[in-house]
Amino acid sequence: MDSEKRDITCSFTGHRPGKLPWGNDENAPEAVRVKEKLRDYIRLLAQQKGVKRFISGMAPGIDMYAAEAVIELKKELEGISLECAVPDGDFTGALSPSEKIRYCRIISGCDSVLFVCDPPCPDSDLIRDRYLADSAKYIIAVYSGAEGGTAYTVNYAKSKGCSMIVIDPVSLKVYASGGRQQNV
Protein backbone atom coordinates (compact mmCIF):
# COMPACT_ATOMS: atom_id res chain seq x y z
CA MET A 1 0.00 0.00 0.00
CA ASP A 2 1.53 3.30 -1.00
CA SER A 3 1.77 5.83 1.82
CA GLU A 4 -0.14 8.56 -0.04
CA LYS A 5 -3.18 6.33 -0.43
CA ARG A 6 -2.86 5.12 3.18
CA ASP A 7 -2.72 8.74 4.43
CA ILE A 8 -6.21 9.46 3.05
CA THR A 9 -7.78 6.19 4.23
CA CYS A 10 -9.86 5.27 7.28
CA SER A 11 -10.98 1.74 8.08
CA PHE A 12 -13.65 0.64 10.52
CA THR A 13 -13.75 -2.15 13.04
CA GLY A 14 -16.33 -2.98 15.67
CA HIS A 15 -18.44 -5.55 17.35
CA ARG A 16 -21.11 -7.67 15.79
CA PRO A 17 -24.63 -7.38 17.26
CA GLY A 18 -24.09 -10.19 19.79
CA LYS A 19 -21.40 -8.14 21.57
CA LEU A 20 -23.20 -4.80 21.43
CA PRO A 21 -25.22 -3.76 24.52
CA TRP A 22 -28.34 -3.23 22.34
CA GLY A 23 -27.92 -6.43 20.30
CA ASN A 24 -30.02 -6.18 17.13
CA ASP A 25 -32.16 -3.27 18.39
CA GLU A 26 -30.77 -0.48 16.22
CA ASN A 27 -33.46 1.89 17.48
CA ALA A 28 -32.10 1.70 21.04
CA PRO A 29 -30.84 5.14 22.15
CA GLU A 30 -27.27 3.84 22.49
CA ALA A 31 -27.29 2.42 18.96
CA VAL A 32 -28.61 5.67 17.54
CA ARG A 33 -25.92 7.62 19.42
CA VAL A 34 -23.13 5.33 18.17
CA LYS A 35 -24.36 5.78 14.60
CA GLU A 36 -24.33 9.57 15.13
CA LYS A 37 -20.78 9.40 16.47
CA LEU A 38 -19.68 7.33 13.47
CA ARG A 39 -21.10 9.97 11.10
CA ASP A 40 -19.53 12.78 13.14
CA TYR A 41 -16.05 11.22 13.03
CA ILE A 42 -16.29 10.29 9.35
CA ARG A 43 -17.22 13.91 8.62
CA LEU A 44 -14.41 15.20 10.87
CA LEU A 45 -11.76 13.02 9.20
CA ALA A 46 -12.96 14.01 5.72
CA GLN A 47 -13.12 17.73 6.46
CA GLN A 48 -10.14 18.18 8.79
CA LYS A 49 -7.72 15.39 7.84
CA GLY A 50 -8.44 15.05 4.13
CA VAL A 51 -9.60 11.45 4.38
CA LYS A 52 -11.30 10.46 1.14
CA ARG A 53 -11.29 6.65 1.22
CA PHE A 54 -13.19 4.62 3.80
CA ILE A 55 -13.04 0.83 4.12
CA SER A 56 -15.64 -1.41 5.74
CA GLY A 57 -15.04 -5.08 6.51
CA MET A 58 -18.78 -5.69 5.95
CA ALA A 59 -19.50 -7.82 9.02
CA PRO A 60 -22.97 -7.38 10.54
CA GLY A 61 -23.07 -4.72 13.24
CA ILE A 62 -20.61 -1.85 13.30
CA ASP A 63 -19.00 -2.56 9.91
CA MET A 64 -22.36 -2.29 8.20
CA TYR A 65 -23.39 0.77 10.27
CA ALA A 66 -20.19 2.52 9.20
CA ALA A 67 -20.61 1.57 5.54
CA GLU A 68 -24.15 2.95 5.56
CA ALA A 69 -22.92 6.17 7.18
CA VAL A 70 -20.30 6.66 4.44
CA ILE A 71 -22.91 6.03 1.73
CA GLU A 72 -25.18 8.62 3.38
CA LEU A 73 -22.34 11.15 3.73
CA LYS A 74 -21.25 10.74 0.09
CA LYS A 75 -24.22 13.01 -0.72
CA GLU A 76 -22.74 15.74 1.50
CA LEU A 77 -18.96 15.27 1.37
CA GLU A 78 -17.58 15.57 -2.12
CA GLY A 79 -14.94 13.06 -3.16
CA ILE A 80 -15.26 10.45 -0.42
CA SER A 81 -15.51 6.80 -1.40
CA LEU A 82 -16.40 3.48 0.21
CA GLU A 83 -14.51 0.25 -0.35
CA CYS A 84 -16.08 -2.96 0.92
CA ALA A 85 -13.33 -5.39 1.95
CA VAL A 86 -15.14 -8.72 2.03
CA PRO A 87 -13.22 -11.64 3.59
CA ASP A 88 -14.01 -14.04 0.74
CA GLY A 89 -16.63 -15.18 -1.73
CA ASP A 90 -18.26 -17.49 0.84
CA PHE A 91 -18.83 -14.64 3.32
CA THR A 92 -22.54 -14.15 2.68
CA GLY A 93 -23.27 -17.82 3.39
CA ALA A 94 -23.19 -17.13 7.14
CA LEU A 95 -25.46 -14.06 6.96
CA SER A 96 -29.13 -14.12 7.92
CA PRO A 97 -31.63 -13.27 5.17
CA SER A 98 -32.02 -9.69 6.47
CA GLU A 99 -28.23 -9.27 6.73
CA LYS A 100 -27.87 -10.48 3.11
CA ILE A 101 -30.36 -7.85 1.96
CA ARG A 102 -28.47 -5.17 3.87
CA TYR A 103 -25.14 -6.44 2.51
CA CYS A 104 -26.46 -6.26 -1.08
CA ARG A 105 -27.82 -2.75 -0.52
CA ILE A 106 -24.43 -1.59 0.80
CA ILE A 107 -22.53 -3.28 -2.03
CA SER A 108 -24.77 -1.53 -4.55
CA GLY A 109 -23.92 1.86 -2.98
CA CYS A 110 -20.18 1.41 -2.57
CA ASP A 111 -17.42 2.44 -4.96
CA SER A 112 -15.40 -0.78 -4.96
CA VAL A 113 -15.45 -4.32 -3.60
CA LEU A 114 -12.37 -6.34 -2.73
CA PHE A 115 -12.56 -10.03 -1.89
CA VAL A 116 -9.51 -10.18 0.36
CA CYS A 117 -9.08 -13.96 0.05
CA ASP A 118 -9.76 -15.51 -3.32
CA PRO A 119 -10.16 -18.43 -3.08
CA PRO A 120 -11.66 -18.56 0.44
CA CYS A 121 -9.44 -19.77 3.27
CA PRO A 122 -9.98 -20.59 6.96
CA ASP A 123 -8.30 -17.37 8.16
CA SER A 124 -10.05 -15.00 5.74
CA ASP A 125 -11.61 -12.92 8.56
CA LEU A 126 -8.20 -12.32 10.17
CA ILE A 127 -6.57 -11.59 6.83
CA ARG A 128 -9.36 -9.06 6.15
CA ASP A 129 -8.78 -7.51 9.59
CA ARG A 130 -5.06 -7.08 8.85
CA TYR A 131 -5.91 -5.58 5.46
CA LEU A 132 -8.10 -2.96 7.19
CA ALA A 133 -5.18 -1.81 9.37
CA ASP A 134 -2.49 -2.18 6.72
CA SER A 135 -4.48 -0.01 4.30
CA ALA A 136 -5.36 2.90 6.58
CA LYS A 137 -3.75 5.69 8.55
CA TYR A 138 -6.94 6.08 10.60
CA ILE A 139 -9.15 3.51 12.31
CA ILE A 140 -12.56 4.18 13.82
CA ALA A 141 -13.34 1.36 16.25
CA VAL A 142 -16.49 0.68 18.24
CA TYR A 143 -14.89 -1.43 20.91
CA SER A 144 -15.83 -2.35 24.48
CA GLY A 145 -12.62 -4.20 25.36
CA ALA A 146 -14.19 -7.63 24.73
CA GLU A 147 -12.01 -10.31 23.17
CA GLY A 148 -12.55 -11.31 19.57
CA GLY A 149 -12.00 -10.01 16.06
CA THR A 150 -12.39 -6.36 17.03
CA ALA A 151 -9.77 -6.72 19.79
CA TYR A 152 -7.45 -8.40 17.30
CA THR A 153 -7.92 -5.60 14.76
CA VAL A 154 -7.49 -2.82 17.34
CA ASN A 155 -4.26 -4.37 18.65
CA TYR A 156 -2.93 -5.04 15.15
CA ALA A 157 -3.76 -1.45 14.08
CA LYS A 158 -1.93 -0.10 17.14
CA SER A 159 1.13 -2.17 16.21
CA LYS A 160 1.00 -0.59 12.73
CA GLY A 161 0.87 2.94 14.17
CA CYS A 162 -2.65 3.75 13.01
CA SER A 163 -4.33 6.80 14.51
CA MET A 164 -7.32 5.45 16.38
CA ILE A 165 -10.69 6.80 17.40
CA VAL A 166 -12.33 4.34 19.79
CA ILE A 167 -16.01 4.64 20.66
CA ASP A 168 -16.95 2.61 23.73
CA PRO A 169 -20.43 1.17 23.03
CA VAL A 170 -21.14 0.80 26.75
CA SER A 171 -20.17 4.24 28.11
CA LEU A 172 -20.44 6.03 24.71
CA LYS A 173 -17.16 7.80 25.55
CA VAL A 174 -14.72 8.38 22.69
CA TYR A 175 -10.96 8.00 23.01
CA ALA A 176 -8.12 8.94 20.67
CA SER A 177 -5.18 6.59 20.11
CA GLY A 178 -3.33 8.16 23.03
CA GLY A 179 -6.22 7.38 25.37
CA ARG A 180 -7.45 10.98 25.57
CA GLN A 181 -11.21 11.32 25.75
CA GLN A 182 -12.62 13.22 22.76
CA ASN A 183 -15.72 15.33 22.47
CA VAL A 184 -17.71 15.45 19.23
Q: What is the mean pLDDT of the chain?
A: 94
| Stretch 93-120: mean pLDDT | 96
- pLDDT category of residue 70 using cuts at 50, 70 and 90: very high
Q: What confidence score (pLDDT) does residue 177 get? A: 76
- pLDDT category of residue 1 using cuts at 50, 70 and 90: low
* 3-state SS track over the chain: CCHHHHHCEEEEEECCHHHCCCCCCCCCHHHHHHHHHHHHHHHHHHHHCCCCEEEECCCCCHHHHHHHHHHHHCCCCCCCEEEEEEEECCHHHHCCHHHHHHHHHHHHHCCEEEEEECCCCCCHHHHHHHHHHHCCCEEEEECCCCCCHHHHHHHHHHHCCCEEEEECCCCCCEEECCCCEECC
- pLDDT category of residue 176 using cuts at 50, 70 and 90: confident
Residue 80's domain spans which residues?
Answer: 3-182
This prediction has a pTM of 0.94
| Stretch 113-133: mean pLDDT | 96
Q: What confidence score (pLDDT) does residue 183 get? A: 53
Residue 181 pLDDT > 70? no
Residue 182 pLDDT > 70? no
Q: What confidence score (pLDDT) does residue 2 get? A: 80
Residue 143 pLDDT > 50? yes
The CATH number of residue 97's host domain is: 3.40.50.450
- Tell me how many domains the chain contains: 1
- pLDDT category of residue 115 using cuts at 50, 70 and 90: very high
